[in-house]
Amino acid sequence: MRKISLDKLNQLFAEIASKNSLYIPVDTAAGAKYEKYDGTQTMSDALNTTRSAKDFFFPQTENLVDFKVEGKNIEIKEPVNEYEDFVIFGARACDVKSFEILDRVFLADPVDNFYKNRREHGVVVSMACTKPAETCFCGTFGIDAAAPAGDIVCHKTADAVYFDAKTDKGAKLLESLNALTEDTDSAAVDAQTAQTREVLKKLPLAGLDASAFGADKTMEFFNRPEWQTISESCLGCGTCTFVCPTCQCYDIKDFNTGNEVKRYRCWDSCMYSDFTKMAHGNIRNSQVERFRQRFMHKLVYYPTNNEGIFGCVGCGRCMAKCPVNMNIVKVMRKLGGNK
């Protein structure tokens, strides 16, 4: 385990940024967000960024291929796929877990090369939480906010940041910073972890239990009458899906610039009425079906296809951002017998 005193943290950032693109969470008037480190910013202490960290590997829009139309010929232009190495600093346990959930979709056969490429070029430096919010419920899905995963795991105390490399990629990066960091034992980290775990137990959503849901429960939940009432308030916007770190649906569209056609993909939302629209029309014609889809996917379908792992990481963004405060916790309470 390595440590660096807080006052030298910016030196460390500068060092990383000199070799890779470094992204750190920065406070803005509109909440914390990841920004490319340019030597001027200081790291945010906010619990989490407004948008999730999935953008690094699965950006909202991404060009796939261009077609150049010249007279009556069409030339196909493959996109350039060389991404620079980059480092994400300060991802929380929930967001780090979301990468694993996305990996299971994008890296499974057929592999999504765009995602894979970004994933291989990115180093995730996670940050343990110390002050989780009332909307946090990562524990429900077995995530330990005090001990996140990641290539390097950090703990920030009052005066220092502690680093623990968990992967080869992480070890390599950490080693390159040895000149700035010093070796240390884990006493301070252990103390903080223990303290955080006490806090986690007292969170209002600490008792939220997902065990009623999980793999192979489709028939148990699909036709439950409660979907009708809880979906009533849903406006059908895409806020929950777009702030969600694990939502992975996208649409592929063509944009004709007049000179060429750009084929790109962009996030889509199962809450939208034209989601998965096909020649015959839509699959899910009412908002109740669309609403059910989203939560069934997180709580039942995803676990069914992924050894019981839930498709939610309990980051609480949807709770904070839903225009009408309808969210997965309310769904779990209503359908899963949670009180």
> Which residues are near another protein by CB under 8 A?
29-31, 47, 50-51, 60-61, 69, 71-72, 131-135, 199, 202-205, 232-233, 235-239, 241-243, 251, 253, 255-259, 262, 264, 266-269, 272-274, 281-282, 285-286, 319-321, 323-326, 329-330
Q: Report in angstroms how near the CB of residue 278 gets to another protein at its nearest.
A: 12
SS3 assignment, position 36: strand
Query: Which lies closer to another protein via its Cβ, residue 224 or residue 253?
Result: 253
Q: Report in angstroms how near the CB of residue 310 gets to another protein at its nearest.
A: 19
Query: Which lies closer to another protein via its Cβ, residue 19 or residue 201?
Result: 201
Q: Report in angstroms how near the CB of residue 6 gets to another protein at its nearest.
A: 20
Q: Report in angstroms how near the CB of residue 273 gets to another protein at its nearest.
A: 8
Q: Report in angstroms how near the CB of residue 39 gets to another protein at its nearest.
A: 20
Which structure tokens are listed for 180? 């700035």
Query: Which lies closer to another protein via its Cβ, residue 5 or residue 285?
Result: 285
CA atoms of 18 and 22, how far apart (whole Å): 9
CA atoms of 242 and 267, how far apart (whole Å): 7
Q: Report in angstroms how near the CB of residue 236 gets to another protein at its nearest.
A: 6
Beta bridge partners of 77: 66
Query: Which lies closer to another protein via its Cβ, residue 202 or residue 225?
Result: 202
Tell how many helices (H) and how many strands (E) occur in the chain.
12, 12
Query: Which lies closer to another protein via its Cβ, residue 16 or residue 328?
Result: 328
Q: Is the dihedral of CA 89, 328, 298, 147 positive or negative?
A: positive
DSSP 239-287: HHHHH-SS---EEEEEEE-SSEEEEEEEE--TTSTTTT-BTTB-S--SH
Query: Which lies closer to another protein via its Cβ, residue 132 or residue 150?
Result: 132
Judged on CB neighbours under 10 Å (0-12, 13-18, 19+), 187 is exposed
